[in-house]
Structure 1
Amino acid sequence: MSIGNSPEDDRPSPPSTSSDASATPEPATDSDRPSIGRALQQARIDAGLTVEEVSTATRVRIPIVHAIEGDDFSRCGGDVYARGHIRTLARAVGLDPVRLVQQYDAEHGGRPSPTSAAPLFEAERIRPERRRPNWTAAMVAAIVAVIGFVGFTMFNGDDRGSSGHHVAEGPAPAQKAAPKPKPPKPPAPSESAIAAVPKDKVTVRLTATDDKSWISAKASDGKLLFDGLLLKGASKTFQDNEKIDLILGNAGAIELYVNGKRVDDTFETGQVERLTYTKGDPQVG
């Protein structure tokens, strides 16, 4: 009688399922994040802005905005311009530009290392040429000096010849009375003049203090009062009988007066705001 393994012992054991039941799911990767273009497009839609409004506020052409929202960066003209467009569009729609630029670098080979400009221009150094004397200008100056000297001599000679023949033949003519001084001009109205606004109307004054900003203003009947870029230092005043609707593309750069009262806001640079103001004490709509 031999002792050994039975055929049942040689059969492979079934795989254990206890470890599979306790296995944890894999964490989400960066591939689960939306693309750069999709994130910019969704943020623009959430902010209630059209592509044309974003293009006007950022000065990025409409075809490039459409291309970036479709994740096509070939129309930007290179990585440097692509990063700049991403930062500008992100600020306009209220996204973090740093995160999107980092995502772009990760998807396009990383940020390129800076290149020193000194060796590139070393071969361009050329010895300056010696300036030649400008004889034409010297001759013109000499001729002008001679003409001036001759005219001065003739004028003085006529003055001396005629001075010896003057004879006093009567009383000296009466001196003309000195002209009365003109009254000073009234001072120009100051910025505080906006305080004297009519009580039965809505008056809004916008001033771009820190930077330029795209703005849009509509009256109560839907009429467009202004739609464009307000440059740094420029001001616009709007008035209506009922209300005024505003869209500020860069609200942090705007100083706002409503019905003669300054509105103290907490808007940030690059923030897009939609506001409505009516008669009386200003309130944000």
Structure 2
Amino acid sequence: MSIGNSPEDDRPSVEDAQPSAGYERPPVGRTLQQARIAAGLTVDEVSTSTRVRIPIVQAIEQDDFSRCGGDVYARGHIRTLARAVGIDPAPLVAQYDDEHGGRPSPTPAAPLFEAERIRSEPRRPNWTAAMVAAIVAVIGFVGFTLFKGEDQGNGPTQLAEGPAPDKKPSPKATAKKPADPKPDPSDSAIAAVPKDKVTVKLTAVDDKSWISAKDHNGRLLFDGLLLEGESKTFQDKERIDLVLGNAGAMELYVNGKKVQDEFEPGQVERLSYTKGDPEVG
């Protein structure tokens, strides 16, 4: 430190945090840490603005990406933190790919978590269903045989000539009241949702995804992994804030209505919903 300069003058600038040509690149986490310090931000402030948890921010700045949950989430966190501290995320993501084996080619069958690959177990034969089907078939065959035998035993009968007697309606025969039309399924689902609250239902339809949900006071409602086929429903009187780690795999119903989105697999999305008709945002 030179005499007469303030301590702020010795802090690294945002430009100094970016790797320059001709020099060995510093680690990704070190670059993000220097950029944060140069921007005058604390870890708590970065965590609040990005909604990335403090332990994950601290681990990334130490170049430890094991807490991110996989390469897809690690790239998403790098982009989010880089934008928060004011630097270009593209070089850092490219550096991460170079140091961790590169970005895998996108194929529909590739799992998001190689370390946690889900393998389907072979299906066992359902002997109970087979037995029930066999019993139903036997009963049906016996009934058909008896009915056919009665028809053949009776044979055609000779009817007496003359006018056929008038058939009088039975006094018990009454006109049936037409059944009320069933409501549309979507209308029933909307009617069942409380109008004085915001209701959000998440379902992992294509793959698993890490999700985080908070109420309008910032209280954490859920933070964890939602496996394929699982669902979570959250309610609040004013607002629900969401963070979806794999938005393309999720199906959203807000206030009883399905949210039409164009999210892609591996895309990190931050969404907020209030009472009324849902909108993506």
Q: Same fold (TM over 0.5)?
A: no
Relative contact order (alpha carbons < 8 A, sep ≥ 6): 1 or 2 greater? 1
Q: TM-score by structure 1 length?
A: 0.43
